[in-house]
Amino acid sequence: MESTNQLEAQLNDFSPDKRAQALEALIASGAPAGASQSAVNMHCHTFFSYNAYGFSPTGLAWLARQRGFKAMGIVDFDVLNGVDEFLKACELLDVRGSAGMETRVFIPEFASRDINSPGEPGVYYYMGIGFCSTQSPVTAAPILNNMRQRAEDRNRTMLARINVFLSPLTVNYERDVLPLTPVGDATERHMLAAYMQAATGRFPDPVPFWAEKLQLSPEQVAAQIGDSARFTNTLRAKLMKGGGVGYTLPGPGTFPLLDEVNRLIVACGALPCATWLDGSSVGEQAEEELLSLLISKGVVALNIVPDRNWNIPDPDKRHSKVQKLYEVVALAGKLDLPLNVGTEMNAPGQKLVDDFEVPELAPVRQAFLDGADFIYGHTVLQRALGLGYQSEWAKVHFPARRERNAFYTQAGRLTPPGQAGMARLKSLTSDLSPVELLDRLAQPA
């Protein structure tokens, strides 16, 4: 019989059948869940777009159960591949779950200003949250397919430029990069991994090679190469980001327009979600102008990565970043934008979950937890009854976003996770008013 450790490793196998079998075996083993804690991570990339720890959607759901997280949400770049798997695993494991997608869009109204993609005016990291299916409607499928194709085209162009620079070291997209992915959706980080593997395989000691190509001293490379997080960041900066040999300055046609991506998100019954970096760019210094514009285009939530806005060694920089964090949280409250927060997990060194107990996060902790209740409430109501945030039922009963937000937050708070919560919701009907629905959920099971 396989050990728990072996089964947990199998949760992250590229084979969906092996992942499902491992989960079934772990549930049958009776392994206890971790002690419940008031911690959430609603922004975790899976291995469908790159997870620094190799987690699959099922692996992340199991992690949440074993650590006792209050809720967890996945987010992948340009794909919805993990949605069905993750939500099913969450239901089996009694985990409050949500699923999203991240991408980059172009905002013409901010074409002259950097926003949250440094050095790229008008380019904006953007999200949809609260997806309930891997499948998109027929009317929206071409948009999703176009996003995936654009991403692959950018990758191949970048790879060709880097291959010339790193010659005689080269990697092949089909042979070396795609096998690092479960279904062929690669990211820059997969390409970095391929280059690092190729260098290790080609050179007995890759330090001199990297020192020459990166124009660093051998001592500098030797000090970094054993630190995966640090060396990956160096490679990415030198090869792929602004000023790097593989970098091409994006233009208005490089990424889809925000309005186009919103059509996809809304057609899927999901929620357009703005994102915030750290408040330092010209665009984010005009955050209220930006968010007001995005709200007019359909945005209903805001994503924040807390750790990079307080966990900073320099005390002066930390104080400045924390103040900007407080300001944007207050602005989100003023504009009726629930918060989606998490650590990303798509780079080495990023935390498995935020520490909400640190003094810097105490003033915003409740807003973060409320946001997790909100997106979970939408997700379970949409999955069980088709009564999610974008439903006609919601629009009729809650024409104003503030009241709608409050309802889904309360529904998320009252609905137990897992099969028990789904069963309770499925026993209800859309004939109920919001008050009646919440009353039923508040009653003892």
Strands of the sheet with 71-77, listed across from one edge: 40-44, 71-77, 96-106, 123-129, 271-276, 301-304, 339-341
Which two tokens mark 185? 């959706």
pLDDT band at 252 (very low <50, low <70, confident <90, very high): confident
Residue-level pLDDT at 341: 98
Cβ-based neighbours of 145, under 8 Å, separated by 6 or more: none
Q: In percent, how much of the chain has pLDDT > 70?
A: 100
Residue 251: what pLDDT?
77
Q: Which residues contact 64 (CB under 8 A, 6 or more apart)?
A: 41, 71, 72, 90, 93, 95, 97
- The encoded tokens of residue 268 equal 């899927």
Indicate if the pLDDT at residue 228 is higher than 90: no
- 266-291 pLDDT, tens digit per residue, is 999 999 999 999 999 999 999 999 99
The token pair that represents 336 in the structure block = 């009726």
Question: In 178-291, at which residue ranges do the beta strands (DSSP E only) sit?
Answer: 271-276
Residue 1 pLDDT greater than 80, yes or no:
no
293-340 residue pLDDT tens: 999 999 999 999 999 999 999 999 999 999 999 999 999 999 999 999
Question: How far apart (Å, rounded) are the C-alpha atoms in residues 42 and 434?
Answer: 25
**What are the distances in angstroms from CA 378 to CA 137, 192, 247, 253, 394?**
19, 37, 39, 33, 10
Cis omega before residue 168 (within 30°)?
yes
Which residue in 257, 241, 238 sits closest to 249, CA to CA? 241
Distances (CA, A) of 184 to 14, 50, 169, 173, 181: 11, 11, 22, 10, 5
> Residue 403's CB: how many other CB atoms inside 10 A?
12
Using 50, 70 and 90 to split pLDDT, how confident is the model at 226? confident
Confidence band of 250 (pLDDT split at 50, 70, 90): confident
221 pLDDT higher than 80: yes
Whether 369 and 52 have beta carbons less than 8 Å apart is answered as no
Helix, strand, coil percentages in the chain from 3-state DSSP, rounded to 5 = 55, 10, 35
Q: In sequence order, what DSSP letters do the residues of 144-173 get, joined into one string?
A: HHHHHHHHHHHHHHHHHHHHHHHTT----I
Instruction: Report all structural domains of the chain as residue ranges with CATH numbers, in order of start.
Output: 1-31 (no CATH), 32-136+268-442 (3.20.20.140), 146-239 (no CATH)
43-67 pLDDT, tens digit per residue, is: 999 999 999 999 999 999 999 999 9
Q: What is the 3-state secondary structure (H, E, C) of 374-418?
A: HHHHHHHHHHHHCCCCCCHHHHHHCCCHHHHHHHHHHHHHHCCCH
List pLDDT tens digits, range 393-408: 999 999 999 999 999 9
Q: Closest by alpha carbon to 191, among 139, 137, 150, 154?
A: 154
Q: What is the mean pLDDT of the chain?
A: 95
User: How confident is the model at residue 62, as a pLDDT?
Assistant: 98
pLDDT of residue 150: 92
The rounded distance, in Å, linking the Cα atoms of 352 and 345 is: 7
pLDDT bracket for residue 412 (50, 70, 90)? very high
pLDDT band at 249 (very low <50, low <70, confident <90, very high): confident
Tell me what pLDDT residue 229 has.
Answer: 83
pLDDT, mean of residues 119-143:
96
User: Minimal CA–CA distance to 71: which of 50, 90, 46, 85?
Assistant: 90
Residues 6+ apart with CB under 8 A from 17: none
